[in-house]
A = this chain, B = another copy of it.
């Protein structure tokens, strides 16, 4: 479950240039092809690398507005609220949290006006007591993992 320096370099390389194959990666890293293959297999069966799915940009799909909604849930209604939110395509992510709210979800919408529709659909559900929404203006650090991988591979 701990990763070494070679694993870190491999992940970084794949993140930068995902289209390269095992052979090309082994050339870049200066190791044998079998080694890269073995490392990749291990990282995947470890669960460190979950997969290589396409990263889709919601903005390019016509959903340029992102927001985070904090939801407060009526006691004992957690499960149904989850099930409800799962059915809303604009809900990209849902977490249950400690703190002021009970759940935090990431939403996207076609426009600020459309966001109203999405929020209505999300919170227009028995079991949700209160919702507060924060609209994302800028995204100075898009979801990233490389710095963490490098830290993890150095110790």
- Residues on A facing B (Cβ under 8 Å): 1-3, 11, 14-15, 18-19, 46-63, 66, 68, 70, 82, 85-86, 89-101, 104-106, 108, 132-145, 147-152
Contact = CB atoms under 8 A, between A and B. Distances in A.
A144 B50 CA distance: 13
B60 A55 contact: no
A152 B54 contact: no
**Copies of the protein in its oligomer:** 2
A82 B140 contact: yes
A3 B144 contact: no
Nearest to A59: B47
Contacts of A85: 140-141
A136 B95 contact: yes
Given A58-B145, A89-B148, A94-B141, 8 more contacts: A3-B61, A18-B54, A19-B52, A48-B57, A48-B60, A58-B148, A92-B141, A96-B136
